[in-house]
């Protein structure tokens, strides 16, 4: 099995789009104005951002993990931007990692496995 896609929920699709596109540098594949935007990772996995409408769709309650090849360089580039950090760069037994929060508080963890 392979992961095909994941969806995060937002209160403001425009702010979320700006975060993932402009701050994280992801390319928009598809969007429906005010409702949904889709990005793709290099390996083809899709990330959807959907405007929350149903009770179960809770912005700020999700976490995604993104593998990075040069995590220290990526971390430094985010430090130079207006990004809210959840976890500063740290070295663990299994990986080097850091995490940021999107505009809704969803956690985006970046890691480089050992």
Q: Which domain holds residue 66?
A: 6-53+60-113
pLDDT at 1: 79
Domain count, the chain: 1
pLDDT at 76: 96
> Does 42 fall in a domain?
yes
- Give mean pLDDT, residues 84-110: 96
> Does 69 fall in a domain?
yes
DSSP letter string over 15-34?
Answer: HHHHIIIIIS-PPEEEEETT
> Does 1 fall in a domain?
no
The reported pTM is: 0.90
> Does 31 fall in a domain?
yes
Summarised one tens digit per residue, pLDDT across range 45-86 is: 999 999 999 999 999 999 999 999 999 999 999 999 989 999
Task: Pick left, alpha or beta for residue 105 (phi over 0 → left; psi -120 to 50 → alpha; otherwise beta).
Answer: left
d(CA 48, CA 90) in angstroms, rounded, equals 28
Count the alpha carbons within 13 Å of 103 in the hemisphere toward its beta carbon.
Answer: 18
* CATH number for the domain harbouring residue 105: 3.10.180.10
> Does 13 fall in a domain?
yes
């Amino acid at each position: 099995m392979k992961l095909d896609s994941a969806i995060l929920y937002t209160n403001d699709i425009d702010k979320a789009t700006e975060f993932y596109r402009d701050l994280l540098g992801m390319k928009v594949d598809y969007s429906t104005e005010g409702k949904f935007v889709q990005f793709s990772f290099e390996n083809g996995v899709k990330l959807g951002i959907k405007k929350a409408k149903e009770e179960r769709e809770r912005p700020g309650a999700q976490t995604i993990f993104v593998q990075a090849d040069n995590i220290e360089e990526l971390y430094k580039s985010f430090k130079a931007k207006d990004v809210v950090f959840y976890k500063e760069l740290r070295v663990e037994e299994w990986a080097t990692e850091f995490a940021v929060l999107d505009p809704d508080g969803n956690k985006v963890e970046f890691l480089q496995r050992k």
